[in-house]
Structure formats: structure tokens, C-alpha cells
Structure 1
Amino acid sequence: MHFDIIVLGAGPAGSAAATWAARQGRRVALLDKALFPRNKLCGGLFTERSRAYYREIFGQDIDLSNAVTRHEIAFWHEGRELAVLEDIPPLHLTMRLDLDNCLYQHALAAGAKDYTGRAVAEIGDHDVTLRDGTRLSADILIGADGVNSILARHLFGAPFNKDTIGFGLEIEVSPETQSPGAHPLRIDFAAATWGYGWSFPKQNSTTVGVGGLHAPNPDMKGHFARYLRALDLDPEAVKVKGHYLPFGDFRPRPGRAHMLLAGDAAGLVDPITGEGIAFAMKSGQLAADAACDALDANDPVSALPRYQTALKEMHRNLRIARTLRRIIFAPRWQKAFIGTFRRSGTVRMQYRRLLAGELEYPQLARSVLARLPRYLLNTVRR
């Protein structure tokens, strides 16, 4: 069967792409190996930036009745509390089971053809063969199938660069072990090298994890065990899941001709906060827009340059964030940054605005660079 667009992956990026394209009258096939609703271990942080993108793409506000909403976040470093940011714009902790199913249902309601629950056996430049023998073809393919993207592997030989990829370990803590309501939303700097730990309370559980760049963390399990013990959790009594994280390793060229990558498949994750859902939805929308414009022009191969143009601002922000990450996470700089974070109300306010989506990285960079001499002086003194 032939479609205008095949979207691989029905998570936030894929469902956004499928919804946006189908609403423009395009014939869209939505593929995913999983049946929905399905569980996905993830911090599930849904910011006000995510909420704004959701409204723009899906045309309505999101139902957050099953989410935990917090207006404060605690920052720790090596067992000491650094600061608690209070009265911040709401941070919503969602379960991906609910969130992703909601987005997927939007895509089906918009008219996307459902091919979920069926794994891909083979992929070509214009066609996809499923394991049950079904063969689909399309003028444009959008790979929104995560960090281990099949389409990225087809295009580039590997889904990601092993030297720059991140890696995370996570668990879901039951309410019997730890009451979600009794614990704050918490970030721990230095829980891993070039990374951090997190504890995100949700309605019926708490997601606890540690993540960072993969290469400098050969013993991520050891980092995670120490972090769990610091939170009074037994590392021997939990089932740990691991997954790769793009962590700022975005692709400057997210595809080829009529084949586009979105969300985690394109490496579009904030390298400082780890936020990925907002970037996934927005990039899915932009990929679908580029695809539809290319089809309108009867020029499918123009999809990639159109998409690259649309992504310029996002790439610029992520590039600046990747530079700032060196100051925040590099071991030689981190103590100076931590000291400044502890003492500087301005830096904390800027971080608060960043989380709220009120500030972009170019503005934050100007604030940090204005204080760089102080960072240097603190480093020398130590």
C-alpha cells in the first residue's frame, strides 16, 4: 500500500508528525513495534514549553489530571542540598503510558493509518516491510523511532555516535517503598561524570535515575548504586533498566533527501536539563510541515533542506547548551559552577526561567559569560 508519508515510531515525535500531516490531508501510515498503550520508563517531565507545543500541534490543552504537578525543585551536589527553587512555573511529572497513548490517539483521530504492534523487518529508501509480510511505500519517510532508530541506521550505518552518546539507568520505585508525595522533584549534580541524578515523584511511583555521557562512565551501575543508597533505596532490591540518551548529540543533517529524523532519532534532547518531550513534539511538527511542503511542490527530495531550515533555531539553542554543559558538568569546572549556583540568585532565577520556557540558551549564555571571570577565580582559589 502506498502513502504520502510513513512515520516510524508513535511516541511524541511520531504522533505529532502523523497528526500534523494527516490534518493537512496527507495519507499517513503510523508504525510502531509496540501496541498502545505501552509503558516506557522515562522521567516524564512535561514542562510549560511542552504544554505550549502541545496546544499548538494538537489544537487543545492536555489533560494533566493523572500527572503530579510541582512548583519547586531541589538541587543537590555530593550529598549536600544546594538550593530549592520555589514558586516556579509548573513542572508536570507524567507517566509515558498515559502521555504517549494520548498523543497516539490524536494521530489516529486525525486520520493516520494504524500499523502499531508490528515490527519492521526491512527498510528501504521508499518502502518498509513489516515482519508479518506487509509492505508499505511512501514518497517521504519520517523516522521518529527513538535513539536506536531503524531509519537512522539505514541512513548512516549506526543510529548514534558511541563516542558522544549518553546513557542512563532508571527504576520505578513503588509507593510502598517510597511515598511520591513525601519527596520533592530533585536533581543531583555529579551523580555521574558529565551527568546527574534525578528523582521525579509521580502519582503512583517515583522515577529515579542517573545519566551522563557514556564514554566517561564505564561504571554507571556503580554510580547508580551509590545514588540509590543516598536516597535510602536498596540497589539490590530493584529492577534496573538502561537506555541510551542523545544528551545533546544532535544530527546537524537529520536525514537525507526525502527521509527525515525527528525527536530522539535526530538527537534532539536538551544536553543540560535532559528535556526531550518538547523537542520531540516540535521537531515532529516541523518534519511533517517540511514533508507536506515538499509534496505540495512535487519535490519530495526537497524535504530535508526545508526541514533543516525549520530546525535552525532549535539547533542553535542546543549548540549553545552543549557549550554551557562544559561549564556545568566538566569535572574541572563543576565545583566553581556549583559554588556560583549556590550563591547567585541571578543564576538560579535564569535556570528557573529556562525550565519554564521563558528563556532560551542564548540569553542564559550571556548571563553565564558575564560571570565567567568569577568562575575562573573560584577555580584558581580551589
Structure 2
Amino acid sequence: MTGSDDIYDVAVIGGGPAGATAAHDLARRGVRVALVDRAGRIKPCGGAIPPRLIRDFDIPDHLIVARITSARMVSPRDRRVDMPIDNGFVGMVDREHFDEWLRERAAGAGARRITGSCERLSRDPQGVVTLHLGGRDADEGAALRARIAIVADGARSAIAREEIPQNGDPRCVFAYHEIVRPPAPGDGDYDRSRCDVYYNGALSPDFYAWVFPHGETCSIGVGSARKGVSLRGSIRALRASAGLDRGETLRREGAPIPLKSLKRWDNGRDLVLAGDAAGIVAPASGEGIYYAMLGGRLAADAAFEALRTGDARALAQARKRFMKAHGRIFWILGIMQYFWYGSDRRRERFVSICGDRDVQRLTWEAYMNKELGRPRPLAHARIFFKDLAHLFGVVSP
């Protein structure tokens, strides 16, 4: 597929994992695609990628800066529960380098990279989409035209709100992290092969805080949807308690993270959402890289089909396919977040449950492979009744 000299088949707005994946997949299929992205933007992120992502998206080893073999859950009362990974690992990436590699891969496949931001969209009499560009790196009045737009420019995308107003203004967690040089191995409790997750209302009243290794650096972060919460103050307290307050701070970043998938991802004629713009971040965990890249791939598939057939209804397939594969687990995680993050008493019990081996095995199976494991009636029944017992205080945390 090729457009005319001045019309692209697809314009992708946003060059994070979702947008870069969409541009790469389309370019590989011979689609004439432009990738528009602002320079210098790095999203705050723990950086965890599961084996499923590494396999499905051909991620090379050099981008994996750490291999995590366990997670430690820390309760409000400082109870520490380790969750080892049996026969596997979680890869860690630094978004500064990972996202740029994805953009360069898209360019290598034939996508045209354009540095700038999309200020607004309009249509010409023939219905072709015009992207009006701005920002310090775009020429005054610059524009490009495309038959279809994929919008992947973040959780509070103004274009997504304008083009699909029925979604409203999505509720978000605001995440903040600091990239820090950690202590040398053996100095203190920091472990370069372990992710630490803190469930503590003093750090976040409605989400969690984290310390995630990135090889020679680490991400120390926190999120909350509550107004008035001092995320920087929480990070100062966490760094002091974790013995990470003396490390050099290399970067500080903050951004909103959506809490729920949007009800509609397309406008019915020439536009489809992907990544945070579509709201596809896992509830409870806040995990987004895998889901962003999958969403970008599904948006690319939908755009390709719409171009091939001339039927804009194909754009709706991106959300349908995603929710068929992951809607159930998102529903379960949403319930978990609602119940377990509501108070420190419940967080204490949640961390206690994480010590159960049945819970650990099923959790890692679902996370590593991005699907609910084979039915195990006895294990699921045990977890169900243990969950109820902890929720209603029948057992001590």
C-alpha cells in the first residue's frame, strides 16, 4: 500500500512503545507511515517486561539491563514477603533507551520519523486527516496528511478526548520516579535481582511505591490518584528507609497513568487509539509496556484492514481483540485494587496472602505468559477461601 506523494496511509501520533510498535508493524507490511513524537520525553516506569513481551516483539538481550528472579512485597508494618520466580526471570529495561530503540526499529522498517507534537486534527473535503504540528522542532504551520491516524500520545491525550468525546476525561494515577545510582552489591538490603513493592498508606494512600533495579541504576517511584499527596515527599521517605538516599539522582520524571481501559478506541471513520491513550494499563499493578505494545500491534492490524477493505468498521477490532484476550484479567485486577488498596489493614493482609505458594505460582504464571494458566480447580479453590479468610479477618495477617 502506498499513498500519494503528500498523503501517508497512516500517521502515528506518539512514539512510546504503543506508537513505535504500530509504526514498525505497518511499515513492515508496506504501509506508508509517519511517526510523530516529541523529543526528550521519558515516561516514569518501573521498566518490567515479561518473557511473553520479549518473545512476541523480538526484544534483543542488550536492552535488558537487569534480570529479576524475585519480588519482595513490603507491608505497612514492614513485613517482607518474598515471591521467587521458579525457572524464569522478568526483564528490566530503561525507558530512555528502550523507547528510542523501538522508534529506530520502526524507522529502519521504513517509517518516517518526525520530531514534534500534534496540536490538532482537521479533515479536508475528501476526508483526509491533516495533522497540525507544533513544538520547538516543528516548522511554523507544519502539517502532514494521512488516511488514518493512530493516537498513542499518552493518558490525557487532547486529541483522543476531542475525537472520541464519549469517553470523557479518564481517571488517572499520577506516577513519579527518580532514576538513582544504587549502592554497590552487598552494601545494605538492595538486591539487583529483586523488585521491591511497598504497600503502605504513608507512601501512597491508594496505590503503591517501588524500587526496581535497572542494572547500574534503579527506579524509585510511587503513584497516587489522590490530590494533595506529596509524591516527592514519599520518595524521600522511601529512599531514606531503603538506604538509597545517598545515591546520585540522575533523572526525575512524572506522568499520568490511566486506571481503566476506555470504552471506545475508534471514532468510526479514520482514527484509533493505542497505549495509554486507550487506557490499557493493568489495574492494581500499573503494568503497561506489554499491553501498550500489544495495543499498538492491534491498532496497526485494524488500520491495515481498514485501508485494505475501505471499511472503517475494521478499526473497532483493536479494542474487541484486546478485551477478548485480556478483559477478564483486567476485571480481576480491578477488583483486587478496589478491595486490597483501601486501607493499611487490608494492605497488611494482602501482603500476607502473597506469601502463599499457590498464590505465587498462579500470579507468576499469569504475569509471565499474559494469560490465566490452565485450570487448577483445587489451587483456585484454596486461593479463593484463603482470600476470603484474609479479607474478613478470619486469619491474622
TM-score strictly above 0.5: yes
Deviates more, 1:73-82 or 1:11-20: 73-82
The Cα shift of 1:28 comes to 0.7
Asked whether the 8 Å contact 2:13–2:153 carries over to 1, the reply is yes
- Number of aligned positions between the proteins: 367
Does 2:118 correspond to 1:140?
A: no
Q: Note the aligned Cα RMSD (angstroms).
A: 3.0
Mapped to 2, the partners of 1:266 and 1:87 lie a distance apart of 31
Judged with a 3 Å threshold, the aligned counterparts in structure 2 of structure 1 residues 6 and 14 are, in CA distance, closer, same or farther, namely same
Asked whether the 8 Å contact 1:290–1:307 carries over to 2, the reply is yes
* Counterpart for residue 347 of structure 1: 359
Which of 26, 29, 32 aligns to 1:27? It is 32
Deviations, residues 279-304 of structure 1 (Å, cap 9, x unaligned): 011110000101111111112x2133
Mapped to 2, the partners of 1:371 and 1:278 lie a distance apart of 30
Deviations, residues 124-175 of structure 1 (Å, cap 9, x unaligned): 352101121222121211011122324213224699736x311112101124
* Letter in structure 2 aligned against 1:16: T
Judged with a 3 Å threshold, the aligned counterparts in structure 2 of structure 1 residues 353 and 228 are, in CA distance, closer, same or farther, namely same
Which of 198, 201, 209 aligns to 1:188? It is 198
Identical residues among aligned pairs (%): 27
Judged with a 3 Å threshold, the aligned counterparts in structure 2 of structure 1 residues 160 and 351 are, in CA distance, closer, same or farther, namely farther
Matched ranges for 1:20-99 at <5 A: 20-34=25-39, 39-55=42-58, 61-64=59-62, 67-78=65-76, 80-88=78-86, 89-99=88-98
* Counterpart for residue 126 of structure 2: none
Mapped to 2, the partners of 1:381 and 1:185 lie a distance apart of 26
Structure 1 unaligned spans of 5+? 56-60
Asked whether the 8 Å contact 1:3–1:27 carries over to 2, the reply is yes
Mapped to 2, the partners of 1:224 and 1:158 lie a distance apart of 36
TM-score, structure 2 as length reference? 0.82
* Counterpart for residue 211 of structure 1: 223
Judged with a 3 Å threshold, the aligned counterparts in structure 2 of structure 1 residues 73 and 334 are, in CA distance, closer, same or farther, namely closer
Does 2:147 correspond to 1:168?
A: no
Q: 1 or 2, which has the higher helix percentage? A: 1
* Letter in structure 2 aligned against 1:276: G
Judged with a 3 Å threshold, the aligned counterparts in structure 2 of structure 1 residues 105 and 242 are, in CA distance, closer, same or farther, namely closer
Aligned to 1:360, the other structure's residue is in SS state: coil
Mapped to 1, the partners of 2:152 and 2:185 lie a distance apart of 31
* Letter in structure 1 aligned against 2:388: P
The Cα shift of 1:73 comes to 1.7
The Cα shift of 1:121 comes to 3.2
